[in-house]
Amino acid sequence: MVAQLKITAASVDPALLDLPWEIPLTEWPDSVLAALPRGISRHIVRFAHLSGRVVAVKEIGETVAHSEYEMLRALRRLGAPCVLPLAVITGRRDRSGEELTPALVTQHLSFSLPYRALYSRSMRTATGERLIDALAVLLVRLHTLGFYWGDVSLSNTLFRRDAGAFAAYLVDAETGELHAKLTPGQRNYDVDLARTNIIGELMDLQAGGVIDEAEDLIAIGDRLVDRYHSLWNELTAPEAFDVSERWRVAERINRLNNLGYDVDELQLSTDADGTTVHIQPKIVDAGHYHRQVMRLTGLDVQENQGRRMLNDLASYRVMTGRSDDPIEIVAHDWVTDVFEPTVRAVPRELSGKLEPAEIFHEVLEHRWYMSEQQQRDVPTSEAVASYVADVLPNREDEQTFLSLGDTAELEAISD
């Protein structure tokens, strides 16, 4: 039956033909599946091994599968944080010749966590707030690209750790639409829907005893709305100030940089008497610190991880007396002398716990706490040894913890 298959993909992996497309997804053998507990979803989703990686396979109607595949490709081209679409499989038939539902194949996002995993133990309130903040940032990023989601929820989002915070990624683009620019009504509908869905999802967890009954879930939903509008206004709202306060132009740019955005163009104007300056960002791109780290080191990291690494690079530059040396040369030496030795110190059996950049961040945090407790400057090598011995072994292995939306009844993962 393989010969009847039609694979739509920008680059076809021949190993796709080895997957048992002639069998309904619910009956796929354990030999090809990632061993994961499964739960209820509106679609059948399974995780399979493919060419040394893990992919998510979702049975879905042909038209919708092609639409979501193209939408995810378009979002990737725009730089949106979302999963990578690999292929649409159509023409499936079982051994008796009966038609089977087409499938969308996406690549699993390594080191990502579904929200249920993060809520599976008694989670600190601050951790829950960081999840909501990450979703708000994701929604703003998508809206600035002209993407109307139409199905915003925690279930349709995956989270990666990002230097103590979280970075959110879109998983399900089935209902999404791309526009040149979203109207306020479209944006507000997405935000209202996100609030409603989040409260409902957390109520389900609260009913299951996962979230404390005293937790104010309405306040959590309201936080998403407040955080979204605060960030959107910072990115897009005009600002007026006295002409003598021109330093506020640089201040506005710095605030946007600290939020992770680059300013490509500013619109400046004055009023009729020339005493008031009006400023408005015209084009803002996310990934300010990510791009800096990529340019200087070639390392592909999350935004907050990038900020932390650049801070450590700046300290290294001062401590080694190289403030006047070209930053590109110092960055190369920092990678060789600081970052790589720290990552290499992690034993192979622990390397799947966290991303290398997150491990580096946690080592810096651990060194700071050790120095604080011992009232001395703890060397990085000593902090690494302590972290590898006492902290990292207790972390869950996040490289292979897989989920898509709410398709898994999840094992507990510590926050």
**Statement: residue 146 has pLDDT above 90:** yes
Distance CA(106)–CA(405), nearest Å, equals 13
Judging by beta carbons within 10 Å of its beta carbon (0-12, 13-18, 19+), is residue 344 exposed, middle or buried? Answer: exposed
pTM of this structure: 0.71
User: Domain map of the chain by residue range?
Assistant: 2-107, 112-235, 238-286, 305-344+355-394
Question: How far apart, in Å, are the Cα atoms of 324 and each of 292, 293, 321?
Answer: 19, 19, 8
Structure tokens at 242: 């006295």
CATH code for the domain defined by 112-235: 1.10.510.10
At 296-338, the pLDDT tens digits run 888 888 888 888 888 888 888 888 888 888 888 999 999 999 8
pLDDT band at residue 261 under the 50/70/90 scheme: low
112-235 has the same fold as 2-107: no
In whole angstroms, what is the distance from residue 333 CA to residue 336 CA? 5
Question: pLDDT per residue over 118-145, tens digit each?
Answer: 775 545 666 778 889 889 989 998 998 9
- For residue 350, the 8-state DSSP code is G
Which residues contact residue 296 at a Cβ distance below 8 angstroms, ignoring those fewer than 6 apart? Answer: 313, 327, 328, 331
CATH T-level fold of 2-107 = Phosphorylase Kinase; domain 1 (3.30.200)
pLDDT score at 230:
86
Cβ neighbours around 179 below 10 Å, total: 12
On average, the pLDDT of the chain sits at 82
pLDDT band at 25 (very low <50, low <70, confident <90, very high): very high
Edge-to-edge strand list for the sheet holding 45-50: 6-8, 84-90, 103-107, 53-59, 45-50
- Is 21 within 8 Å of 92 (Cβ atoms)? yes
Selection from 337, 325, 331 nearest residue 310 by Cα: 331
- Please give the torsion angle defined by the CA atoms of residues 252, 254, 255 and 260, in that order, rounded to the nearest 10 degrees: 130
- Contact by Cβ (8 Å): 327, 317: yes
Phi/psi at 396 (5° precision): -70, 155
pLDDT tens-digit profile of 344-391? 888 888 877 788 888 888 888 888 888 888 888 888 888 888 988 888
Q: In this structure, what token pair is assigned to residue 85?
A: 């679409």
